[in-house]
């Protein structure tokens, strides 16, 4: 009996000890120590068919990696060369990637499946950039390649996801009618490699193929290389580092190949083609009619009254004033004829140029109906009748006995406002804006004065229409005195609008900035003395804040009156000397490249009363490394935990040479089957200057 008690007692002790151990373990729970974060993209293990295989007759391709993978936007990023009418079905499951062709494979053809940067590991999202697989349905495989980079011509932004293709037999109509023979897609750095090429000469193009027809449509972005490209192979020696078990390393040399050319630079642009058609028409209020077209207009439409107002057949010039924007695709007609204004329903015959199905501009006639019914019309008519019955209203000054006419309480006035603030720029005109177009200005009732000591001194001036809005704006050009106070006054009835309205008294006082409130920026441009160019100071959003032109024959360009701040700079080679950047044309016969653009690689800090001078060697840096990272919009995605590059001003070259979200050579962690072999970033220079 005592032995049994001892046994039970012993089991209870063991149970208590077990519970205590478990409780201690629970009370001290912690995260197990792990290794370094995985920053390596998936590694290719094997595929069926093998890379470079010949005699392939399978519609299904499988690829195995060393870890679980995921696909990102495969429909857009994965391309097959030669192009397929039906894109392949691509999926990932664990470590396996499967691509199944929907089109029948052609005999004796080399195929390339280019996955671009669609493949990532499942856990950390490390991107396998530029992975591609080649195989042939014939007895041999074509292995030549063309590599390069695509940038946006106007701002040097890397072209991400743009289609690049080649023609070996090129005619004047190939680009607009025939699919590319071989294709690739640019990665996040704008790099591309077209693989599986046969020996020969090729024309190289890039398009943002919006409708997936594998050629250029006139509304799509496009880039082209000026001359034929002949791919070839260079035999080189490659150095590898071997590590022994004791940690020592050694360098070994082996034969290798380099696929050339690998430095093709394409600059994309848009020709600005749009179909011409009437996209919208409105009557936003009783006095205005607007017509909006789908494309800029070289020829204004003819607008006549068809019905709804007196004078059927009268042209718009007889009953309206036209305000058009710079491209004449938005037209605003201010109706000046009271009878036309009064018509609630108005039918207009509009004759304009429209793009037909053959892509030709032909004259088209439309009859448009415009309605406008004032919701307060009855109320206004009732009030007007009441005022007429009551007669005019007057007020009598109790001291002087003077009688003053009181206008009706709902009387409309011509509104005037100053375009700007109470601080006037030293180098810019003073602009005023009216709510409706002017019919008449009594210059004796408009005064400009400067405060001298305590008295206002009248100044001579001219009030002229402003080119930004000839109907509604007037401008005063003056040689302002810095730091002085001015006053513009407009007497009552000095301005009359086309609707018979007149202005109330108007006064605008302002102080002109001092010369020392500004900075100035001068660039000396070695090598560009004989070339006309435009230099722009840019904001941090890469938009122009100031612009100055340098004529051919000058060695520098000055941008005066710059507000203090942080800027960047862009230069345009102004081939036609029109003071702006111009696009290109890929069509044979009128083919031309867009005007070249360069960026100053460092940011510019301008302070008050500073005159800054910089020497700018536009070709000192490769084109793809000129644009400062801080204002670049198409940035490659950073890896988890990765920091963006340093401020460009801290790096004399304008970029962070240590920053490497993707290998600049395009060959990071790839087997022979996946080597994009793009040219080194920083190897792209223009040879036209």
**Domain with 474 in it: what CATH number?**
2.60.40
Query: What does the pLDDT look like over 365-380, one tens digit per residue?
Result: 999 999 987 766 666 5
Q: Tell me, what's the pLDDT at 30?
A: 40
Assess whether 110 and 216 both reside in one domain: yes
pLDDT for res 432: 97
319: how many CB neighbours lie within 10 A of its CB?
Answer: 21
In a domain, 149, yes or no: yes
Phi–psi pair at 539, nearest 5 degrees: -80, 180
Write the secondary structure of 424-440 as one string of H (helix), E (strand) and C (coil): ECCCCCEEEEECCCEEE
Hey, what are 612's tokens?
A: 């800054």
Q: Which residue has the higher pLDDT, 680 or 138?
A: 138
609, 659: one domain: yes
Q: What is the mean pLDDT of residues 270-284?
A: 94
**666-689: average pLDDT:** 48
Q: What is the mean pLDDT of the segment spanning 48-71? A: 94
Looking at the structure, do residues 542 and 643 belong to the same domain, yes or no? yes
CB 237 within 8 A of CB 255: yes
Which among 503, 537, 568 is the end of a domain? 503
CA triple 70-76-81, angle to 5 deg: 100
Give the model's pLDDT for residue 571.
Answer: 98
pLDDT above 60 (res 666): no
Domain assignment of residue 461, yes or no: yes
Q: Are residues 465 and 559 in the same domain?
A: no
pLDDT at 561: 97
pLDDT at 307: 87
3-state SS, residue 18: helix
225, 252, 287 - which closes a domain: 225
Whether pLDDT at 685 is above 90: no
pLDDT band at 25 (very low <50, low <70, confident <90, very high): very low
Beta carbons within 8 Å of 624's beta carbon, 6+ residues apart: 149, 151, 156, 158, 190, 265, 681, 682, 684
Residue 399 corresponds to which tokens in the numbers above?
């001291």
Whole-number Cα distances in Å, 630 to 178, 645, 647, 653: 40, 9, 7, 13
Within a domain: 320 = no
- Scan for tokens 């004399």, then name that residue: 652
Nearest Cα neighbor of 584 from 327, 269, 205 is 269
Peptide bond preceding 388 in cis form (omega within 30 of 0): no
Give the confidence band of 452 by pLDDT, cuts at 50, 70, 90: very high
Instruction: Count structural domains, the chain.
Output: 3
Confidence of residue 311 (pLDDT cuts 50, 70, 90): confident
Mean pLDDT in the chain? 86
Q: Is the peptide bond before 483 cis (omega within 30 degrees of 0)?
A: no
| Domain final position from 480, 503, 526 | 503
The residue ranges of DSSP E strands in 157-215, in sequence order, are 163-167, 182-185, 191-197, 203-207
pLDDT category of residue 665 using cuts at 50, 70 and 90: very low
The answer to whether 158 and 150 are in contact (CB under 8 A) is yes
64 lies in which domain range? 44-225
Residue 36 has pLDDT above 80, yes or no: no
Looking at the structure, tell me whether residues 494 and 535 fall in a common domain: no
C-alpha distance across the termini of the chain, in Å: 109
3-state secondary structure at position 334: strand
- Asked, for residue 640, whether it belongs to a domain, the answer is yes
Q: Is the pLDDT of residue 649 over 60?
A: no
Tell me: do 650 and 556 sit in the same domain: yes
d(CA 466, CA 216): 41
CATH of the domain at 218: 2.60.40.1220
Answer yes or no: do 526 and 497 share one domain.
Answer: no
Lookup: tokens for 393: 């209203």
Domain shared by 459 and 523, yes or no: no
Question: How big is the chain by its Cα radius of gyration, in Å?
Answer: 36
48 & 180 share domain: yes
Query: Is residue 606 assigned to a domain?
Result: yes
Would 465 be classed as within a structural domain?
yes
CA atoms within 13 A on the CB side of 570: 27
Of the listed ranges 46-55, 312-321, 426-435, 643-652, the one predicted with least confidence: 643-652
Q: Given pLDDT bands bounded at 50, 70 and 90, which one contains residue 230?
A: very high
- pLDDT at residue 661 tops 50: no
Question: Does 29 have pLDDT greater than 90?
Answer: no
Q: Is 116 inside any structural domain?
A: yes
Confidence of residue 40 (pLDDT cuts 50, 70, 90): confident
* Residue 358 reports pLDDT greater than 80: yes
Number of neighbours of residue 517 by Cβ within 10 angstroms: 17
Angle at 523 between CA 518 and CA 525, to 5 degrees: 170
How confident is the model over 637-666, as a mean pLDDT? 46
**pLDDT band with cut points at 50, 70 and 90 for residue 104:** very high
Q: How many CB atoms lie within 10 A of CB 638?
A: 12
Distance of CA 543 to the CA centre of its chain: 10
Q: What is the DSSP string of 503-564?
A: PPPEEEEEEEPPGGG-EEEEEE-TT-TTS-EEEEEE-TTS-EEEEEEE-TT-SEEEEEEEPS
Q: 545 and 432, same structural domain?
A: no
Mean pLDDT check: name the lowest of 14-18, 168-172, 324-328, 408-412. 14-18
Backbone angles phi, psi at 74, to 5 degrees: -65, -35
pTM, two decimals, is: 0.82
CA 579 to chain centre: 20
Same domain, yes or no, for 572 and 603? Answer: yes
What is the pLDDT, as a whole number, of residue 377?
62
Residue 577's CATH number: 2.60.40.1120
Is 70 exceeded by the pLDDT of residue 225? yes
Q: What digits encode the pLDDT tens for the residues 242-273?
A: 777 777 878 888 888 999 999 999 999 999 99
d(CA 222, CA 218): 9
**Distance from C-alpha of 436 to C-alpha of 495, rounded to nearest angstrom:** 11
Examine the domain organization and report whether 535 and 666 are in the same domain: yes
Residue 181 falls within a domain, yes or no? yes
| 26: pLDDT strictly greater than 60 | no
């Amino acid at each position: 009996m005592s032995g049994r008690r001892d046994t039970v007692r012993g089991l209870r002790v063991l149970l208590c000890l077990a519970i205590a151990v478990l409780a201690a373990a629970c009370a001290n729970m912690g995260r197990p120590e792990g290794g370094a974060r995985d920053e390596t993209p998936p590694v290719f293990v094997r595929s069926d068919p093998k890379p470079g295989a010949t005699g392939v007759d399978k519609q299904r391709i499988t690829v195995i990696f060393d870890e679980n993978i995921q696909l990102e936007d495969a429909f857009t990023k994965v391309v097959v060369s030669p192009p397929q009418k039906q894109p392949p079905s691509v999926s990932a499951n664990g470590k396996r990637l499967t691509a199944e062709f929907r089109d029948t494979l052609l005999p004796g053809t080399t195929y390339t499946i280019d996955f671009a940067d669609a493949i990532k590991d499942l856990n950390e999202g490390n991107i396998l950039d530029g992975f591609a697989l080649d195989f042939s349905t014939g007895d041999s495989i074509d292995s030549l390649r063309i590599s390069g980079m695509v940038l946006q011509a106007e701002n040097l932004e890397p072209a991400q996801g743009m289609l690049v293709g080649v023609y070996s037999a090129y005619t004047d109509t190939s680009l607009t009618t025939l699919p590319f023979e071989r294709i690739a897609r640019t990665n996040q750095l704008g790099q591309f490699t077209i693989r599986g090429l046969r020996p020969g000469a090729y024309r190289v193009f890039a398009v943002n193929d919006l409708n997936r027809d594998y050629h250029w449509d006139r509304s799509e972005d496009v880039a082209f290389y000026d001359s034929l490209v002949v791919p070839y192979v260079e035999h080189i020696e490659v150095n590898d580092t071997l590590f022994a078990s004791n940690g020592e390393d050694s360098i070994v040399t082996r034969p290798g190949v380099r696929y050339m050319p690998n430095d093709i630079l394409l600059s994309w642009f848009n020709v600005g083609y749009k179909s011409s058609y009437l996209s919208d028409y409105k009557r936003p209020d009783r006095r205005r009619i607007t017509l909006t077209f789908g494309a800029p207009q070289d020829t204004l439409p003819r607008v006549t009254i068809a019905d709804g107002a007196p004078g059927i057949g009268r042209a718009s010039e007889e009953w309206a004033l036209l305000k058009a924007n710079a491209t004449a695709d938005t037209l605003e007609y201010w109706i000046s004829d009271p009878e036309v204004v009064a018509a609630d329903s108005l039918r207009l015959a509009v004759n304009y140029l429209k793009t037909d199905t053959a892509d030709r501009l032909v004259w088209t006639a439309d009859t448009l109906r415009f309605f406008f019914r004032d919701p307060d019309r009855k109320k206004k008519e009732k009030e007007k009748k009441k005022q007429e019955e009551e007669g005019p209203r007057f007020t009598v000054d109790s001291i002087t006995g003077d009688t003053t006419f009181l206008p009706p309480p709902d009387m409309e006035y011509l509104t005037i406002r100053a375009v700007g603030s109470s601080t006037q720029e030293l180098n810019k005109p003073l602009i005023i804006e009216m709510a409706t177009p002017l019919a008449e200005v009594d210059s004796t009732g408009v005064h400009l004065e400067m405060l001298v000591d305590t008295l206002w001194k009248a100044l001579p001036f001219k009030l002229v229409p402003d080119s930004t809005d000839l109907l509604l704006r007037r401008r005063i050009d003056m040689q302002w005195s810095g730091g002085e106070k001015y006053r513009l006054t407009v007497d009552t009835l000095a301005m009359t609008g086309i609707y018979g309205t007149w202005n109330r008294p108007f006064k605008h006082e302002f102080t002109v900035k001092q010369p020392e409130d500004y900075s100035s920026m001068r660039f000396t441009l070695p090598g560009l003395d004989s070339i006309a160019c435009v230099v722009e100071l840019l904001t941090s959003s890469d938009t122009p804040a100031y612009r100055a032109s340098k004529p051919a024959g000058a060695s520098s360009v000055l941008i005066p009156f710059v507000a203090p701040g942080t800027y960047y700079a862009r230069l345009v080679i102004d081939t036609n000397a029109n003071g702006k950047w111009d696009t290109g044309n890929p069509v044979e016969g009128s083919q031309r490249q867009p005007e070249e653009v360069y960026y100053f690689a460092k940011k510019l800090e301008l302070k008050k009363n500073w005159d800054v001078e910089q020497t700018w060697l536009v070709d000192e840096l490769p084109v793809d490394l000129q644009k400062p990272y801080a204002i670049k919009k198409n940035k490659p995605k950073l890896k988890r935990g990765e920091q963006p590059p340093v401020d460009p001003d801290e790096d004399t070259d304008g970029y962070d040479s240590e920053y490497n979200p993707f290998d600049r050579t395009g060959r990071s962690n790839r087997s022979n089957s996946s080597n994009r072999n793009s040219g080194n970033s920083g190897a792209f220079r223009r040879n036209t200057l």
